[in-house]
Amino acid sequence: MTAVLDVLNAQLRRLPSWAVYSVGALPVLWLAYLTVRGQLGPDPAKVMERELGLWALRFLLASLAVTPLRRLGLNLMKHRRALGLLCFIYAALHLTIWLWPDMGLRWPQIWADLVQRPYILFGMVGFLCLMPLAVTSSNAAIRWMGAGAWRRLHRLAYPALALAVLHFVTLSRIWTVELLIYAALAVLLLVLRMPIPLNRRARREG
């Protein structure tokens, strides 16, 4: 098993980042194709909005899974930034579809929905959590902020994930199998990533 992981990790290290971005662009290109072909049903904006949001959630889950997978021997660290930026891009497209084709940039109605519909508020706050992460995703930002401050800022990914799951759960109002899987993965990732400082403290106190 170790030999297989070593070979796989070597291949992953050789995989260029542009390849990850290229594969990550396929869902939105496919949605655009279906839109042009008129195959997204009577309300294509709603379908695109939901699918883009789900892909943002999937990429966020994937980016947060990198560290736990590394502990198991699978090293995707080189591509974590690409996964995080793909999450932000899909979240931004999801928001754009809602603001423009869906809501028609009717700002009074948009603001009213933010107050009246909790799932919209959850989604908007989650997107605001992602914005500083995208802005500071470069090596230059890490050098400018310092590694410690950068890591603390990027813990915003945790509330972003929780808010993204809440966004879809409150939007759907029913627990589908798909939502249950996403929620379970989110809880698992948060549990795997968050207790480490507590364990270290316990060892120091022991």
Q: What is the C-alpha separation between 110 and 190, in angstroms, rounded?
A: 31
The verdict on residue 175 lying in a domain is: yes
The arithmetic mean of pLDDT across residues 140-163, rounded, is 93
**The predicted structure's pLDDT at residue 148:** 92
**The predicted structure's pLDDT at residue 201:** 46
Residue 65 belongs to what domain range?
2-200
The arithmetic mean of pLDDT across residues 28-42, rounded, is 92
% residues pLDDT > 90 (the chain): 60
pLDDT digits (tens, 9 = 90+) for 51-86: 999 999 999 999 999 999 998 888 999 999 999 999
**The predicted structure's pLDDT at residue 114:** 86
**The predicted structure's pLDDT at residue 204:** 44
% residues pLDDT > 70 (the chain): 94
The verdict on residue 73 lying in a domain is: yes
- Residue 34's pLDDT band, with cuts at 50, 70 and 90, is very high
Overall number of domains in the chain: 1
Q: What is the C-alpha separation between 100 and 132, in angstroms, rounded?
A: 23
**The predicted structure's pLDDT at residue 175:** 79
The verdict on residue 7 lying in a domain is: yes
Residue 75, Ramachandran bin (φ over 0: left; ψ between -120 and 50: alpha; else beta) = beta
**The predicted structure's pLDDT at residue 19:** 95
Q: Going by C-beta distance under 8 Å and a sequence separation of 6 or more, which residues neighbour residue 130? A: 60, 87, 88, 91, 156, 157, 160
Name the CA radius of gyration of the chain, rounded: 19
The verdict on residue 206 lying in a domain is: no
Residue 174, Ramachandran bin (φ over 0: left; ψ between -120 and 50: alpha; else beta) = beta
**The predicted structure's pLDDT at residue 198:** 45
Q: Is the pLDDT of residue 36 over 60?
A: yes
Q: What is the C-alpha separation between 19 and 154, in angstroms, rounded?
A: 24
User: What does 34-57 look like in DSSP terms, one character per residue?
Assistant: HHHTT-S-S-HHHHHHHHHHHHHH
- Residue 42's pLDDT band, with cuts at 50, 70 and 90, is confident
Q: What angle do CA 145, 151, 155 make, to 5 degrees?
A: 125
**The predicted structure's pLDDT at residue 194:** 64
Helices (H), 65-176: 66-71, 80-97, 107-116, 118-135, 139-145, 147-153, 157-172
Q: Which residue has the higher pLDDT, 94 or 101?
A: 94
Contact criterion met (CB below 8 Å) for 59 and 83: yes
Mean predicted lDDT score pLDDT of the chain: 89
Q: What is the C-alpha separation between 35 and 44, in angstroms, rounded?
A: 7
Q: What is the C-alpha separation between 183 and 160, in angstroms, rounded?
A: 13
Q: How many beta carbons lie within 10 A of that of residue 119, not counting itself? A: 16
pLDDT digits (tens, 9 = 90+) for 103-125: 888 888 889 888 888 899 999 99
Among 185, 151, 186, which Cα is nearest to 80's?
151
Tell me which amino acid residue 135 is.
Answer: V
